[in-house]
Chains A and B, each alone.
Chain A
Amino acid sequence: MKAIEAEEVRKSYKVFFRRKEVLKGISLEVEEGEIYGIIGPNGSGKTTLISILSTILKPDSGNVRVLGMDVEKDAKKIREVINISSGNPNFLWSLTAEENLKYFGMAYGIGGEELKKRIEELLSLLELEEHRETRFDEMSTGTKQRLSLAKALINRPRVVFLDEPTTGLDPDIALKMRETIKRIHEEEGVTIVLTTHYMKEAEMLCEKLSFLRNGVVELEGTVSDFKTKFKNLEYALIRVEGSIEELKIPHAVLSDGKLRVDEIERLGEVIELLSSKGVRIKDVKIREVELEDVFIQLSK
């Protein structure tokens, strides 16, 4: 079954006397059990899209189905089986981690021993045991993010939406968070739809990606599809012995004391030419395309 099917989704907001179209006919499909990433520059419509998919924003037009249910007609049923975690999370300020989880657990209809057990599992999974008595307004950003993730799992959802889950975290904490998300995905078998600004995160976690710009999906596919599409961004760097200042080699340019070959298919030609001129090559490095390069290219 498809976890998410969105067809021609449109959404606009009223800004003073004008309407601003934020989503201009988005279509996408997410398979159950996969981690799907929505990437794109600021203002591209990522949060709007994730809010529509999670039933807290109504689209102007288009069809959206989550686990086969319509987001408008079956919103309440969908809410039983989904959950959300946002970057820069906010919860009830004077409630502790445990109390916040209890409140949300109860709001999902869970109670008694079952809820207690689930809270303990999540406090342990997200390494929040030592913060169980800490009030939300006294937590560090990293702890708040972990609590947000714990809250997003309280009802054992089938689909979890993570809206920029590592925003504002230190690199080491962000990496740990990503590992936790991966572990949760493996252990709980949950479908994850995440938006992110960090291409390393998308590369590490996502099986499939959509690139959004100005409310339109500009590219969709696996990380390797994205890279293949922009294979022309690959280049090779050749380090040689001696001065290269006077070398004039076709298809190669001087870059930081090295020769840079942008057309990889001509690399052999360039190496042959260098050898024929008696230049000794120290090493050749191929700089593969990274998702970040694709992101920059697509954002232009």
Chain B
Amino acid sequence: MSLYSSLNKFLAFAYKNWVMSKRNVFTIFEIAFWPVVSFISVGLMSRYLSLTDNQTAFILIGAITFSSVQVCQLDVGYALLFDVWSKCIKHTFITPTSSHHYILGSSLVGSLRSFLVLLLLSLFGYIFFDFNILEVGMTPLLLIFFAIILSAISIGMLVCVCVLLVGLRAEVAAWSIVWLFLLLAGIYYPPSILPPTLQFLSNLLPLTHLLAYFRSFYLGGGAEFEILTTYILLFIHIAFTSVLLHLATRHAIKSGLLLRISE
């Protein structure tokens, strides 16, 4: 298989997500409305509670990270959900593509949308809440953004696993799974306030360590090892979800689910 052919296969899924998103009115809501409303709400809440600058930064970082992950993971989930909603998933699976083509292709558009969310929220943070994301520095910011995309990919892959296991009923997973991370990773609070069992689970999530790294630029504390942990955990999560995705694909082909959700 040539590199050119593989590149086209990967771009096919980016193209699909791009055109479908372009014509979907919800795209505006996903990028601008919901993240901005949520961001401004928590920012105003921090004002009302008279939080310090550091405490405000703590919360705003959680809101920015969560929204950026959420919008990108939706795109990865859409790689299959658009086909399920269109009832044409069998036509996608009869093409000589693999899961890495549709995951990476859709995450390309997801990265763009995630970047827009990050940019928009950072701008609002700067204008309304004196929060300057550039304090982090360019290289750490790139590391953070890349980790956000990889986190979104691993969550989006879980959505794809659900689609291939239960079909259309899994669409709720596209919007729900990420909220579990909201609870466990400590988006708006430090994971140390969680019960011990949940703290243990929280420590296994890359997002927890990514937030710790991101926040360390505002709250102090040497957290260089946090970014390393983030990437190690991301590698493990993606490897694990890849295996799950492979098994789920086999299940969908063996059980006939692929055909049932195409009718």
**Hey, which bits of chain A sit against chain B, CB under 8 A?**
13-14, 47-48, 51, 54-58, 76-77, 79-80, 82-84, 86, 89-95, 99, 102-111, 115, 136, 151
Contacts and interface: CB of A to CB of B under 8 A. Distances in A.
A76 B99 CA distance: 12
B48 interface: no
B15 A56 contact: no
Nearest to A59: B254
Interface in B213-263: 250, 253-256, 258-259, 262
B117 to A, nearest CB: 22
Given A58-B254, A80-B96, A90-B262, A103 B4 contact: no
A32 B248 CA distance: 34
Contacts of B6: 109
Contacts of B98: 76
A56 B94 contact: yes
A55 B94 CA distance: 7
**Dominant secondary structure of chain A at its interface with chain B:** mixed
Given A57-B253, A57-B256, A107-B9, A82 B86 contact: no
Contact of B88 (A48, A51, A90, A109): A90
Contact of B91 (A57, A58, A84, A95): A84
Nearest to B11: A106
B248 to A, nearest CB: 14
A80 B254 CA distance: 20
B20 interface: yes
Interface of B: 1-2, 4-9, 11-13, 15-16, 19-20, 23-24, 82-83, 85-88, 90-98, 101, 250, 253-256, 258-259, 262
20 contacts: A14-B255, A55-B94, A56-B93, A57-B258, A58-B250, A58-B254, A76-B98, A92-B88, A93-B85, A93-B86, A99-B19, A103-B15, A104-B12, A107-B8, A108-B8, A108-B9, A109-B4, A109-B6, A111-B4, A111-B7
A107 B12 contact: yes
Given A57-B258, A57-B259, A107 B97 contact: yes
Contact of B9 (A83, A102, A106): A106
Contacts of B5: 109-110
Contacts of B20: 92, 94-95
A136 to B, nearest CB: 8
A79 B8 contact: no
Contacts of B254: 57-58
**Which 10 A-B residue pairings sit nearest by Cβ, starting from the closest?**
A109-B5, A106-B12, A107-B95, A90-B87, A111-B8, A79-B96, A107-B12, A94-B23, A58-B254, A90-B88
B96 A103 contact: no
